């Protein structure tokens, strides 16, 4: 395979395998099922490595992502989203259920009734808000929604939550505690209406280790851990050595004494959390900062040593790997023996 | 054409045409050539409307975008970027030049020499930094780079700049003034080395009107003006009535009294300038704010009136339309008589 042209995304396969194996081992040790969120990588090859390492199935965000993975032979999927079905999406979900075990999220009696109208008997998890304040009911209300879902004819397997408020400095352990509390309270709420929860699902990459230590979730759904990114690096949930995806970029300008490369927001995505030190990082130059990013430019300051020559290459680390992958038609897998093309099969599958 | 599933991008064709016609008329009135930046829309259909309204050609950011437009029959393109050529990109650029008139940017003697080595006689514009501090030389150095480029065997047509620092509240007129000054000084610098500049190219959507009034640029390259977005709305360079692209989204959750829709950063992009009021806007509810956006969720506050029912639709305005379009495989053109699919032919063409 000839080398692609910059900017392009490279996966360090030994690091990827190490990340997958480490989390798989920790989950097995804690006797917690792992269902990685596959919105991060959107590729069949990484999904297969995760399943081979013991994952019970995959998590996805949309019916379209589920379709892409079922087309690749994946047979157990959780759509971690409170889907609102219209006739067409209902038909797509029904067609998927003929080919794979599919579970979906609900977070209201109304969405449960709508789901049951189209897909009676559908397996669901009730979504909880454990502190991120996005979708999901308060844990004490879980039984009410579960009861309505069950009465409507759905198969309520348990509850799930995403502790997204763990994406903050010093917030990881608090969020993992909130998650454990929410799952525990919701389990009691389900039992209160006569439903025994079989699945208490949580998880995110920043909260993963703490969640395993707490022992409440029966299943965890981290996504970013397989590849990692500048957010995890800056949150402290990954080291530079754990970063398995970078963007190869070419130095195109030294104008004004600056270092400018040809990777911008259309290759790296514009995601920038308040705790991010810049618009991206440089893997091999941890003190350098991307101080300005536009669609096809990143301006670098704080580079140690003499400026890299025009035409030379730098490895950039996106702030948010899920968003960067979703911009690319392919990842280039580097196993040390040349590059292999991994198609991003679920790219853009937003619906 | 059956209706697509949410989230999807819709172009209001009458508004698009009005935006294109208004800017075309203003440019014609000022006797300034218009070369719209087509990275914004990446679609052949919008390019054709711009050319039909009198644009002299298109601007693009990459060789890949140029290839996509040449494949659609466009014959005059400026790659507004200081390309660093390697053998493969040089071959691609040479192949393009057999099919279209192609001009490219340079911002150093070294990049000019590299370009001339592969493509002797290539037409170039010297890039200036007019205050955005990205790529581009200081205006007084333009003659030095132009002279080196000419000596290396390139055909120096003139200079160009992008006044990106006009993307700030109250910064538009200052940036337009900086742009005019930079082009004027650089023109003198070229004449000082015996090169008569034929092209003084500037332009961005926020600075467009002021640039036309100043009368210095011979050519302008606005991009966003055709569609507009929440950035232009909040900068005051567009009104809500000028916004020709929205994202159709479905209300999926009322949990916790919130309004959550199924469009997030993977449909709208995560771009957020310091002056943006939120992660996106609602076209029909100007007081509402998107207070939290993740990959497939937008949480809305400040919605006037009773919450829209689950399953109902809202029209979101992305902060940065160029980034949102680059996430989609197609735009859905609404001319009032149903939706037509416009493929995003240059999506992801970053190299």
Phi/psi zone of residue B263: left (φ > 0), alpha (ψ -120 to 50 degrees), beta? beta
Across residues B115-137, what is the average pLDDT? 98
Q: In this predicted structure, what is the pLDDT of residue B127?
A: 98
The whole-number pLDDT of residue A47 equals: 98
Give the mean pLDDT of A172-187.
97
User: How do residues A271-285 score in pLDDT, each as one tens digit?
Assistant: 999 999 999 999 999
Residue from the list B89, B271, B323 with its beta carbon closest to the beta carbon of A5: B89
Measured in angstroms, the CA of B77 and the nearest CA of chain A are apart by 17
How sure is the predictor about B3, in pLDDT bands with cuts at 50, 70 and 90? confident
Instruction: Specify whether A203 is located in the same domain as A253.
Output: no
Q: Is residue B76 part of a domain?
A: yes
Q: Evaluate if residue B269 carries a pLDDT over 90.
A: yes
Same domain, A158 and A304: no
- Asked if residue A324 has pLDDT above 60, the reply is yes
Q: Which of A84, A91, A345 is the best mutation test for B, with the most CBs of B within 10 A?
A: A84
- Name the residue facing B135 among A266, A297, A311 (closest C-beta): A297
Q: Is the pLDDT score of A1 beyond 90? A: no
Q: Minimal CA–CA distance to B85: which of B112, B58, B59, B103?
A: B112
Residue A19: predicted pLDDT: 98
Interface test with A, best of B42, B66, B67, B84 (most A CBs within 10 A): B84
**Which pLDDT tens digit goes with each residue over B22-80?**
999 999 999 999 999 999 999 999 999 999 999 999 999 999 999 999 999 999 999 99
Per-residue pLDDT at A3: 79
Residue A185 · residue A139 · CB < 8 Å:
yes
pLDDT in tens, B164-173: 999 999 999 9
> Within this chain, do residues A202 and A296 fall inside the same structural domain, yes or no?
no
Same domain, A278 and A213: no
Closest CA to B46 of B223, B206, B201: B223
Angstrom distance (rounded) from CA A227 to CA A224: 6
What number is the average pLDDT over the span B306-310? 96
**What would the mean pLDDT of B248-261 be, rounded to a whole number?**
97
d(CA A223, CA A343): 18
Which residues span the domain enclosing A261? 232-343
Candidates A134, A138, A265; nearest CB to B294: A134
Question: Measured between CA atoms, how close is B259 to chain A, in angstroms?
Answer: 9
pLDDT for res A165? 96
Residue B58 sits in the same domain as residue B114: yes
Percent of chain B past pLDDT 70, that is, above it, reads 99
Going by pLDDT thresholds of 50, 70 and 90, the confidence category of residue A2 is low
Do residues B110 and B256 share a domain? no
Contact B340, B347 (CB under 8 A): no
Q: Which domain-ending residue is among B204, B226, B248?
A: B226
Query: Could you give the number of structural domains in chain B?
Result: 2
Q: Is residue A4 part of a domain?
A: no
Determine whether the interchain pair A84/B351 forms a contact, defined as Cβ–Cβ distance below 8 Å.
no
Of A8, A84, A299, the CB nearest to B252: A84
Say yes or no to pLDDT of B1 above 60. no
Question: Å from B29 to nearest chain A CA?
Answer: 31
State yes or no: pLDDT of B247 exceeds 90.
Answer: yes
The closest alpha carbon to B196, from B211, B207, B186, B181, belongs to B186
B104 and B168 share one domain? yes
Three-class DSSP labels, chain A: CCCCCCCEEEEEHHHHHHHHHHHHHHHHHHCCEECCECCCCCCHHHHHHHHHCCCCCEEECCHHHHHHHHHCCCCEEEEEEECCCCHHHHHHHHHHHCCCEEEEEECCHHHHHHHHHHCCCCEEEEEECCCCCCCCECHHHHHHHHHHHHHHCCEEEEEEECCHHHCCCCCHHHHHHHHHHHHHHHHHHHHHCCCCCCEEEECCCCCHHHHHHHCCCCEECCCHHHCCCHHHHHHCCCCHHHCCEEEEEEEEECHHHCEEECCCHHHHCCCCCCCCCCCEEECCCCCCEEEEECCCCEEEECCCCCCCCCCCEEEEEECCHHHHHCCCCEEEEECCCCEEEEECCCCCCCC
Specify whether the CB–CB gap between B258 and B291 falls below 8 A. no
User: The complex's ipTM?
Assistant: 0.97
Asked if A252 and A164 sit in the same domain, the reply is: no
Are B65 and B339 contacting, i.e. CB atoms less than 8 angstroms apart? no
Task: Output the six-digit token pair for B52.
Answer: 């039909």
Q: For A224, phi and psi rounded to 5 degrees?
A: -65, -30
Contacts of A297 in chain B (CB under 8 A): 134-135
Enter the tokens of residue B92. Answer: 């691609």
B20/chain A closest Cα distance in angstroms: 23
Is A3 part of a structural domain of the chain?
A: no
Give the pLDDT confidence score for residue B2 in this predicted structure: 66
Q: What is the pLDDT of residues A24-80, one digit of tens each?
A: 999 999 999 999 999 999 999 999 999 999 999 999 999 999 999 999 999 999 999
Q: Is A241 found in the same domain as A215?
A: no
Residues A73-115 pLDDT 10s: 999 999 999 999 999 999 999 999 999 999 999 999 999 999 9
How many angstroms separate the CA atoms of A326 and A41, rounded?
Answer: 8
A6 lies in some domain: no
Instruction: Assign residue B262 the CATH number of its domain.
Output: 2.40.37.20
Instruction: Round the average pLDDT of chain A to a whole number and report it.
Output: 97
Closest to B117 (Cα-Cα) out of B93, B82, B85, B143: B85
> Within a domain: residue B202?
yes
How high is the pLDDT of residue A49? 98
Residue A167 sits at the vertex; the CA angle it makes with A249 and A220, to the nearest 5 degrees, is 100
Residues A79 and A186 grouped into a single domain: yes
* Cβ neighbours of A292 in B, within 8 Å: 133-134
Asked if A329's CB is within 8 angstroms of B86's CB, the reply is no
Q: What is the pLDDT of residue B34?
A: 98
Please say which residue of A191, A223, A255 terminates a domain: A223
pLDDT for the residue numbered A144? 98
Residues of A in contact with B83 (CB under 8 A): 252
Inside any domain, residue B326: yes
- For residues B108 and B147, membership in a common domain is answered with yes
- What residues in A contact B106, CB-CB < 8 Å? none
* Last residue of one domain, picked from the residues B208, B226, B244: B226
CATH code (residue B83): 3.20.20.10
- Report if residue B1 sits inside a domain: no
Question: Per the domain annotation, does B210 fall within a domain?
Answer: yes
A123 and A268 together in one domain = no
């Amino acid at each position: 395979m000839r080398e692609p042209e910059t900017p392009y995304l490279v996966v360090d396969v030994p690091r990827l395998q190490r990340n997958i194996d480490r989390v798989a081992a920790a989950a097995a040790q804690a006797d917690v099922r792992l269902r990685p969120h596959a919105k991060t990588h959107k590729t069949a090859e990484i999904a297969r490595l995760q399943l081979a390492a013991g994952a019970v199935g995959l998590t996805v965000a949309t019916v379209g992502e589920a379709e892409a993975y079922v087309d690749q032979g994946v047979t157990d999927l959780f759509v971690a989203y409170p889907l609102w079905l219209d006739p067409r999406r209902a038909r797509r979900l029904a067609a998927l259920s003929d080919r794979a075990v599919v579970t979906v999220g609900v977070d209201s009696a109304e969405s449960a009734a709508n789901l049951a109208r189209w897909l009676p008997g559908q397996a669901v998890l009730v979504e909880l808000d454990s502190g991120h304040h996005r979708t999901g009911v308060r844990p004490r209300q879980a039984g009410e929604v579960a009861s309505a879902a069950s009465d409507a004819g759905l198969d309520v397997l348990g509850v799930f939550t995403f502790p997204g408020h763990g994406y903050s400095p010093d917030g990881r352990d608090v969020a993992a505690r909130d998650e454990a509390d929410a799952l525990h309270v919701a389990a009691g709420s389900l039992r209160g209406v006569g439903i025994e929860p079989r699945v208490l699902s949580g998880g995110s990459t920043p909260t993963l280790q703490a969640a395993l230590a707490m022992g409440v979730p029966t299943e965890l759904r981290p996504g970013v851990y397989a590849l990692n990114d500048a957010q995890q690096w800056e949150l402290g949930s990954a080291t530079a050595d754990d970063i398995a995806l970078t963007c190869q970029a070419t130095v195109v300008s030294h104008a004004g004494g600056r270092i400018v490369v040809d990777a911008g927001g259309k290759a790296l995505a514009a995601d920038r959390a308040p705790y991010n030190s810049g618009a991206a990082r440089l893997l091999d130059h941890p003190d350098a900062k991307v101080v300005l990013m536009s669609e096809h430019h990143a301006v670098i300051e704080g580079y140690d040593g003499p400026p890299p020559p025009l035409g030379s290459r730098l490895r950039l680390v996106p702030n948010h790997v899920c968003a960067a992958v979703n911009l690319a038609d392919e990842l280039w897998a580097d196993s040390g023996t040349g590059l292999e093309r991994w198609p991003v099969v679920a790219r853009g599958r937003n619906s």
